[in-house]
Amino acid sequence: MTHPRLRERFSILDHSTFLVSHSMGAAPSGGRQKILEYWDNWNNTGISAWDQWMPFVDECRRDLGQIIGAPAGSVAFHQNVSTLIHSVLGTFDWTSSRNEVLVSELTFPTLKYCLEAMSGSGLHFIRVPSRDGIGHDSSDFTSRITDRTALVLIDHGIYRSSALIEIPPIVKVAHELGARVLVDTYQTAGMYPLSVTDWGVDFAVGGSHKWLCGGPGAAYLYIRPDLLGKLRPQLYGWMAQREIFEFAPGVQPADDARAFMTGTFGISSLYAAKVGWETILEVGILSIRKHVLFISHQIIRLAQERGLKINSPLNDDFRGGQVCVGIENAREIEYLLSKEKILLDSRPYCGLRISGHFYTEEREVLTCFEALDSIIKR
Ligand SMILES: Cc1ncc(COP(=O)(O)O)c(C=O)c1O
């Protein structure tokens, strides 16, 4: 079920037991070549490198769009999700009576920090409680949407439990009541077949260094095509202008999502990331999901055989890519395993986070649990 031919492209797999793609996907060896290509362009052609780089950014928008089910023109890049969240928040009028944002209490912390940092603008955010500390029923959100709700911010996959949140029912109610929906797909894009277009969401964000094997610095923003042109970005810069090199006297945003790309792009990060996206598209997201579930079943079985609690939904339909295994001293265990070159991670309220990607072999999961046995016995 693994893809041995593709395993050869990830040299870290030769010298480690790699069970951490939910946090940092393995680096594809083609990325090294691609970064050199970027440098060669720059070194050989100087300022003319932009003639290669600008069309390259458009290719990136197309590839990433394919992964999340978005038309190329609806995708923008930035260095990280936090900036992109602020970019989206900047399109709302927080002094109006529709000034509330709903967000899960289990959300990835940066989303909460962004909202809290904006509270001086009139933005009021409401933490949506989880009934079990693991995940959410969509009704946790829909029951709280009112005519004061401006935005519902949802993590498709919860970072500390791997729980998936069902998006379409939330979009339906939000739109009926005039609110917008932003989904953070960081925990699922590339591992789970999803389509922002089918969901009908207004915005989606995510980044490339987890399941997409693309390294840091290549975060993306999707904006629903019919909203483009209606939204006025406040986080703005010259590279977002309709005609960049006309240097017009005033703001004239591009007609597509480039209007959200502010100033000079982080080209080198995109060069590295593109190899990851291409690999994901080559393997196929359905096939990746199937293999990730296969490895997850093994993790769950081996953990349960040892009497360990699974802090993730047990039903495949409600679980993302990693399995969270409740264990005391998870941080210390993560460290001890890393000394044996067994790579996973841990989080508060969660325990160990363990996952396989399309390149993971069953024997690696066994190696991890056998090492865990010896650590526990010590
Ligand atoms: C759901 C989610 N959103 C966002 C981030 C990261 O945000 P940023 O790109 O601002 O570092 C992560 C983790 O790295 C995450 O898991």
Domains with residue ranges and CATH for the chain = 4-19+284-377 (3.90.1150.10), 30-280 (3.40.640.10)
Question: What is the pLDDT, as a whole number, of residue 377?
Answer: 82
- In this prediction, residue 4 has a pLDDT band, given cuts at 50, 70 and 90, of low
- Cβ–Cβ < 8 Å for 26, 359: yes
Residue 184 near ligand 1, beta carbon < 6 Å: yes
Residue 290 confidence (pLDDT) above 60: yes
Residue 273 confidence (pLDDT) above 60: yes
Structure tokens at 105: 């209490």
Ligand 1 atom nearest 209 alpha carbon: 14
**Interstrand relation of 345-347 and 351-355 (parallel, antiparallel or unpaired):** antiparallel
- In this prediction, residue 112 has a pLDDT band, given cuts at 50, 70 and 90, of very high
* Tens digit of each residue's pLDDT (9 = 90 or more) over 87-97: 999 999 999 99
Residue 359 confidence (pLDDT) above 60: yes
Mean pLDDT of the chain: 96
Closest CA to 353 of 121, 52, 74, 22: 22
Number of H helices, E strands in the chain: 12, 13
pTM of the model: 0.97
**CA of residue 81 to ligand 1 center, whole Å:** 6
**CA of residue 115 to ligand 1 center, whole Å:** 14
**CA of residue 52 to ligand 1 center, whole Å:** 29
**CA of residue 202 to ligand 1 center, whole Å:** 19
Average pLDDT over residues 266-275: 96
**CA of residue 108 to ligand 1 center, whole Å:** 7
* Tens digit of each residue's pLDDT (9 = 90 or more) over 211-234: 999 999 999 999 999 999 899 999
- In this prediction, residue 155 has a pLDDT band, given cuts at 50, 70 and 90, of very high
Average pLDDT over residues 172-187: 98
* Tens digit of each residue's pLDDT (9 = 90 or more) over 71-84: 989 999 999 999 99
Residue 82 near ligand 1, beta carbon < 6 Å: yes
Structure tokens at 236: 């703005």
Residue 92, helix vs strand vs coil: coil
Residue 207 near ligand 1, beta carbon < 6 Å: yes
Residue 110 near ligand 1, beta carbon < 6 Å: yes
Residue to mutate (ligand 1; options 81, 88, 212; most atoms within 8 A of CB): 81
Residue 17 near ligand 1, beta carbon < 6 Å: no
Average pLDDT over residues 344-373: 97
Residue 244 confidence (pLDDT) above 70: yes
Number of Cβ within a 10 Å radius of residue 156: 24
For ligand 1, atom 6: residue with the closest CA: 81
Question: What is the pLDDT, as a whole number, of residue 2?
Answer: 60
Residue 1 confidence (pLDDT) above 60: no
Structure tokens at 192: 């789970």
- Classify 129 in phi/psi space as left (phi over 0), alpha (psi -120 to 50) or beta: beta
Q: How far apart are CA 154 and CA 129, in angstroms?
A: 13
Average pLDDT over residues 108-126: 96
Percentage of the chain beyond pLDDT 90 is 97
**CA of residue 116 to ligand 1 center, whole Å:** 16
Q: How far apart are CA 144 and CA 122, in angstroms?
A: 19
DSSP 238: G
Residue 121 near ligand 1, beta carbon < 6 Å: no
Residue with tokens 């190899």: 275
Q: How far apart are CA 73 and CA 85, in angstroms?
A: 19
Distances (CA, A) of 228 to 108, 231, 254, 330: 27, 6, 9, 45
Residue 81 near ligand 1, beta carbon < 6 Å: yes
Question: What is the pLDDT, as a whole number, of residue 72?
Answer: 83
Residue 150, helix vs strand vs coil: strand
Question: What is the pLDDT, as a whole number, of residue 124?
Answer: 97
- Cβ–Cβ < 8 Å for 182, 202: yes
**Interstrand relation of 75-78 and 219-223 (parallel, antiparallel or unpaired):** antiparallel
Residue 167 near ligand 1, beta carbon < 6 Å: no
Ligand 1 atom nearest 159 alpha carbon: 16
**CA of residue 51 to ligand 1 center, whole Å:** 31
Residue to mutate (ligand 1; options 23, 104, 159; most atoms within 8 A of CB): 159
275-311 burial, b if ≥16 CB within 10 A, otherwise e? bbbbbbeebebeebbebbeebbebbbebbeeeebebb
Residue 341 neighbours by CB under 8 Å, 6+ apart: 15, 16, 17
